[in-house]
Structure 1
Amino acid sequence: MDFLLEFLTRFFDKLQSPTLGFLIGGMVIAALNSRLQIPDSVYKFIVFMLLMRVGLKGGIAIRQSNLAEMLLPALFAAVIGIVIVFIARHTLARLPKIITVDAIATGGLFGAVSGSTLAAGLTMLESEGMQYEAWAAALYPFMDIPALVTAIVLASIYTSKQKSLSKQESLSKEEYLSKQAVAAGDYPSKPEYPTSRQEYRSQQRGSEGKGVEIWPIVKESLQGSALSALLLGIVLGIITRPDSVYESFFNPGFRGLLSVLMLVMGMEAWSRIGELRKVAQWYVVYAFVAPLLHGLIGFGLGYIAHITTGFSPGGVVILAVIAASSSDISGPPTLRAGIPKANPSAYIGSSTAVGTPVALAVGIPLFIGLAQAMMGS
């Protein structure tokens, strides 16, 4: 009972964070039809600054740390990204009125990582005084890329199977008509068979559809603006010595820029709610439950790393936060290109309108409270 009371007290304290206040404020003014607008160019600059700051800090830490410490958390991050997509494939896709490719794309977006949610989580950790490995932010691509690749591959396999089944049904119909014609005395001409094993394999490949090329998916993800900024910061932090620039320019304005970003995200979340009305209401349920479930999976694996390798409580929280997040920048264009048949209103609407606010307003305080209660940090 004492553990539960301590956890609830800490959880509700986190809800009073200024970061979350700006998010809720953005939703409120959007609901009131305010004409306040933040230019898209300003939004992109803020995201760039935040992720560069996170990347630089991570790169500096990587340069000074033992890379072997990263192996288990990085492996867990990749596993989480893949598992999240399979969860959506075998849960959301089975619900009424849910189109399978839409469900897979939604799983891919929820498996991918939000740079802004990561930045918010880091800010709250610092405000709580929780120590974490600065390189933990570098777990971002280890989860993001496998999730997007898995979603696109699964969608391609499913689409190919559907085409194959459709073709078999068509052939069955033709066979039936052929038998009817034979019964009527109209014999069909001799069928043409493959003349060689190579020709047979060629026909089989053609009937099964083209294979999925992994590298273009990875390349598209790496070229996304969010991941590019983060990786650039990490590389510069490793190969240069940007400590003075980091301390004098990138670090001081971090909290202020993040507050403006939360305001924009709150306004965006409210504007996306209308998109969910175009798709099945199950997306709302999924988008509310998924960030918490995914985050708890991340927290559980992070806790295993904490026990086995000494992964810090703050690091456990970061792994949980990126697992709970859903990509808001690089993920949507990657999925639009990789799964063109999926409905963006389904996966973007559920992510932006419900998933991200839940991850920010409920998930981050929840995971910090759990870490403090379980690991005494």
Structure 2
Amino acid sequence: MSIDAVVAFFLLGIICQLSGAKLAFSDGLYKSISMFLMIAIGLKGGIALQQHLDIALLKMSMFVILFGAILPLLAYPMLRYFGDINKINAGAIAAHYGSVSVATYAVAIALLEAKNIQYEAYFPLFVVLLEMPAIFTGLILAKGNLSAVNVSFIKKELVANQSILLMAGSLIIGYFGGQSVEKLSPFFIELFAGVLALFLLKMGLVAGKQLSSLRQNSLFLICFAILMPLLGGLAGTGLGIFLGFTAGGVALMAILGASASYIAVPAAMKQSLPEANAGMSITASLGITFPFNVMLGVPFFIALGQYLVQ
């Protein structure tokens, strides 16, 4: 039995945190690595769009946006009626599970490329698109009306959101940059796996901290944070097959459906739903779902994609 070397750094981070090892990892380095990954993902998508931008891709994008808006509607009833969580917190958590984790996507890309599994190279476009619709749906569910989504929110939390700006901007640069983008490849493309390993080491440290708070949360929240990725991933699998993706593409669509945001959505919820319990959402998405996906969810959906698409 073997484990991917990149994923192993995530486990190393958890072990360091739980063992009490004082591993220095500055916030500045973490932010720089995060920016690197978002730019690299955007550039790769932009390069792919040079060859694939057409009406068919625009139609796919519409289905992906709809998918992101619907996922919170799947999570909300479970949180509200089975978990007995109030409307505000249920809407906030549901938004996290309709949006995406760029880190989970990056892990999936690394594993697919390590296994030489082909996938549609324009998937970074879908990552960008899936950051937004779930936030709208979550706010509407939490507030019960459209007034929660105002012009100020759109400007501050969506248009000016760092992850959206960096990925969308890099995607545009990759698309319009033509052959000049190739000179960036030695840094952003070839070093991707190594930088991702450092990022996962930091994520392991953070996840290790979140694990200590699980004792303070209900069994339901833990079960939800495992069940929802499976349901979202299966829904993404169905969408990938419907859209005619390759085995790798079906796997990526499933993994996007299975992932949960812990960067863009928490920032948006802090602005528009300050009364929501942010700790509950972060514990579920980062403390439970992210480790589950890295260790089990991503390999499972890659294998499922290969099985279903021969």
Shorter-chain TM-score: which interval? over 0.9
Amino acid at match of 1:283: L
Taking CA–CA contacts closer than 8 Å with sequence separation of 6 or more, which of the two structures ends up with the larger relative contact order? 1
Q: Which one of 287, 298, 323 corresponds to residue 236 of structure 2?
A: 298
- 1:253 maps to which residue? 191
1:112-160 deviation digits (Å, cap 9, x = unpaired): 11111111111111111111221111101322200011101211117xx
The alignment's TM-score, normalised by the length of structure 2, stands at 0.93
List 4+ stretches of structure 1 deviating above 4 A: none
Distance 2:46 2:105 in 1: 16
- 2:166 maps to which residue? 229
Distance 1:296 1:72 in 2: 21
Distance 2:212 2:100 in 1: 24
Distance 2:56 2:120 in 1: 10
Shift in Å, 1:30: 0.9
Indicate how the Cα distance of structure 1 residues 51 and 96 shifts in structure 2: closer, same or farther if over 3 A, else same: closer
Indicate how the Cα distance of structure 1 residues 78 and 43 shifts in structure 2: closer, same or farther if over 3 A, else same: same
Residues 31-46 of structure 1: pairs in structure 2 closer than 5 A: 31-46=18-33
Distance 1:145 1:155 in 2: 16
- 1:375 maps to which residue? 309
Shift in Å, 1:50: 1.2
Distance 1:18 1:46 in 2: 18
Distance 1:98 1:211 in 2: 22
Amino acid at match of 1:269: A
Distance 1:41 1:73 in 2: 37
- 1:270 maps to which residue? 208
After TM superposition, the structure 1 stretch with the greater mean CA deviation from structure 2, 278-287 or 22-31, is 278-287
- Percent identity between matched residues is 28
Shift in Å, 1:230: 0.8
Residues 1:323 and 2:262 aligned together: no
Indicate how the Cα distance of structure 1 residues 231 and 96 shifts in structure 2: closer, same or farther if over 3 A, else same: closer
Residues 179-198 of structure 1: pairs in structure 2 closer than 5 A: none
Distance 1:216 1:324 in 2: 30
Amino acid at match of 1:59: G
Distance 1:228 1:276 in 2: 33
Indicate how the Cα distance of structure 1 residues 318 and 25 shifts in structure 2: closer, same or farther if over 3 A, else same: same
Given that residues 77 and 143 in structure 1 are in contact (C-alpha distance below 8 angstroms), is that contact kept between their aligned partners in structure 2? yes
- 2:286 maps to which residue? 352
- 1:363 maps to which residue? 297
Shift in Å, 1:76: 2.9
Distance 2:121 2:66 in 1: 21
Q: Which one of 15, 23, 34 corresponds to residue 28 of structure 1?
A: 15
Given that residues 278 and 345 in structure 1 are in contact (C-alpha distance below 8 angstroms), is that contact kept between their aligned partners in structure 2? no
Shift in Å, 1:293: 1.4
Paired residues in the alignment total 308
Gaps of 5+ in 2: none
The alignment's TM-score, normalised by the length of structure 1, stands at 0.77
1:45-104 deviation digits (Å, cap 9, x = unpaired): 111111111111111111222422323432332222222211222111112452232121
- 2:277 maps to which residue? 343
Give RMSD over aligned pairs.
Answer: 1.8
Distance 1:52 1:354 in 2: 27
Shift in Å, 1:20: 1.9
Amino acid at match of 2:68: G
Given that residues 90 and 142 in structure 2 are in contact (C-alpha distance below 8 angstroms), is that contact kept between their aligned partners in structure 1? no
Distance 2:98 2:83 in 1: 22
Gaps of 5+ in 1: 1-12, 159-209
Residues 206-217 of structure 1: pairs in structure 2 closer than 5 A: 211-217=147-153
Shift in Å, 1:214: 4.3
After TM superposition, the structure 1 stretch with the greater mean CA deviation from structure 2, 262-271 or 272-281, is 272-281
Distance 1:246 1:132 in 2: 22
After TM superposition, the structure 1 stretch with the greater mean CA deviation from structure 2, 238-247 or 223-232, is 238-247
Distance 2:83 2:252 in 1: 34
Distance 1:324 1:364 in 2: 9
Indicate how the Cα distance of structure 1 residues 66 and 139 shifts in structure 2: closer, same or farther if over 3 A, else same: same
Distance 1:291 1:238 in 2: 32
Q: Which one of 47, 55, 61 corresponds to residue 68 of structure 1?
A: 55
Indicate how the Cα distance of structure 1 residues 96 and 297 shifts in structure 2: closer, same or farther if over 3 A, else same: closer
Given that residues 52 and 233 in structure 1 are in contact (C-alpha distance below 8 angstroms), is that contact kept between their aligned partners in structure 2? yes
Indicate how the Cα distance of structure 1 residues 221 and 229 shifts in structure 2: closer, same or farther if over 3 A, else same: same
Shift in Å, 1:335: 1.0
Distance 2:153 2:255 in 1: 24
- 1:205 maps to which residue? none
- 2:36 maps to which residue? 49
Amino acid at match of 1:341: E
Indicate how the Cα distance of structure 1 residues 74 and 217 shifts in structure 2: closer, same or farther if over 3 A, else same: farther
Distance 2:309 2:240 in 1: 12
Distance 2:64 2:297 in 1: 17
Shift in Å, 1:356: 0.7
